[in-house]
Structure 1
Amino acid sequence: MFNEINKVELTYILFDEGSFYLVDSGYPCIGGFLPPYRGERYHAQEYRGQGRQPRSPEELFNYRHSSLRMTIERCFGVLKNRFPILKLMPPYKPSRQRLIVIACCVIHNYIRKWNLPDELFRIWEEMDPIELEGIQEGPIIEGISSNVDYLTRLSNEGAVEMTMKRNHIRDEMWVHRSN
C-alpha cells in the first residue's frame, strides 16, 4: 500500500503536463496513462502475414502502441543488461533510485554517442518480437497494478481528457495511414 509520501511523489510523476505513460490493457484510460483499446487485436504477431493489416482505427492504434512498447522494452532490456543494478534495485528511497536510473541513462547515452556499433542494441534488435513481448507483460511502473483503485480516484477527472487524447491520436493515425 502506498504511504502518503509515495502518493505525493506518484501524483507529481503522473501529472507532468503533456506527458503520459504508455501502459498495457491492465490499466484504465485515466489521466497520465495511455492504454491500448480493449477487445481489439494488439500484439505484433497478430498482424503478421498477408491480409492481416489493421482493419479499423482502433486496431491501427493498438498495432502502433504495441510496436512502441516493444521498442521501450528493448531499451529497458539493454539498460538492465548494461547496468545490473537496475535489475534488482537496492532498497534506496525512491528519490535516490530515480537518480541511479538517470545516471545509468546518461552513461548509456554517452556510450551510444561515442560508440555507434553497440553490441547490446544489436542483440536486442535481433530478438523476435514474440519473445520480446513476453519479457514485460503487465505494469511498467512497479507496484501500481495493485493500486488501480487509488489511481482511478486520483485522476478520475483526467479519464475523459485522456480518452479524448487517445481518440484524437487514433483518428490522426487512421487519416494519415499509408495504404
Structure 2
Amino acid sequence: MNMLVAEQVAIFLHIISHHLKNRVTKHHFNRSGETVSRSFHNVLNAIIHLQDVLFKKAEPITVNSTDPRWKWFKNFLDALDGTHIKIRVPTVDKPRYQTRKGDIATNMLGVCTPNMQFVYVLPGWEGSVADGRVLQDAISRRHGLKVPHGCYYLVDAGYTNCEGFLAPFRGQRYNLNEWRQGYQQSTPEEFFNMKHASTRNVIKRCFGLLKLRWGILKSPSFYPSHKEAAQFRYRSFPYYDQLTAIYVKDRTTGKDAQTAADIIEEIDVEDIADTNTHEERNDFHGCEADVSLDDMDLSATQPQPARNQELFNYSFIPLQPTTLNVASKIMTTLWKITKQ
C-alpha cells in the first residue's frame, strides 16, 4: 500500500472524531474503501501496541498530601467506574446487550488517576451485566487490574465494599447535585459520602470528555462488532423478541471482553501465522530459481510519489496539541510495525 503513515493516522482520527462511514471517508481522502479500512486497522493496531505509553501507572496519594480533594483518602490509587457505549449487535444478542435504559450497549470498565489519565480499561462486556461482575473479571485476568497491598480504588455503591475497593455508605446522601443545592451534611456518614463523591467524580469527567472528543462513542458504531452479523439480516421469527427477552438476557458471558494486552497477544499470534504462510508460499520445494536480479525489471519496486499527495489536505481535521502528541507516537509506532 503506497500511502504515507501520516495520511493513515489522519484517516483514523477523522473517522473516530466525526463518526463517519467508510464510503464518506474514502471521498474525503480520495482513496478506495478497502484502503481506508486497511489504514484504519493498521493505526488501531499501532495504538493498541502503545498501551504502555497511553496508560499511566497508578500512584497512591501520599500521607502528607495537602490537596483539599485528595488528602482525605490516604493511599487512594484511582477512581473506578463503568460506562455504557452504544454499539450494533446481531438481533440474537440484543437482549444480552440491552441496558436498564433500553439502549443496546457494551459495559466498559475504566480506571483513571486524579489528573484524569486512564490506567486501565476493560471493554466488551454485555450492557445488561452488573458492574460488579465486570470488576470481578478484571481482577481475575492474567493482564487484569492489580491492587497493591495497602492501597485501594474508589468505587460507587454499585460495587461491593471490600479490601482494595472503597464504596460510600448506603442509604445516605451521595450525589454531588444534592450538595450543590445547599444541603449541609449532618452526620459523619454524609460528610464521608460528600468527600467520596467529590473525589470519585474524576472518572465521570473522564468518560464525559472521552465521549465528547470522539464522536464514534456517542452513537452506535457503523462498524459491526460481530463478523457473523450479516447472516441474521432480514430474517424473522414469530414471538422472537418476547422469547429472547425471557431466556437470553441473563446469559452474559463476557466472551468479547479484552484488555489491550490480550489483543496484542492475538495480533502477535496472527502476525506469526501470516509470516509462516508467506514463507510457505515463497518455498520452491527445494528448487532454486534461475532468474538473476540483472534479468528482472525493478522499476516497479522503486519508491513512487504518494497518490494525489498534492491534493491531500489535513486542514479539515482540527487537532488539539494533546492529540498531535498522540498522533506523533502513533505514527512512530506504526512505522516501526510496518518495517518489521
Which of the pair has the greater relative contact order for Cα pairs under 8 Å at 6+ separation? 1
Larger Rg: 2
- The alignment's TM-score, normalised by the length of structure 1, stands at 0.42
Larger helix share, 1 or 2: 1
Q: Which has the higher strand share?
A: 2
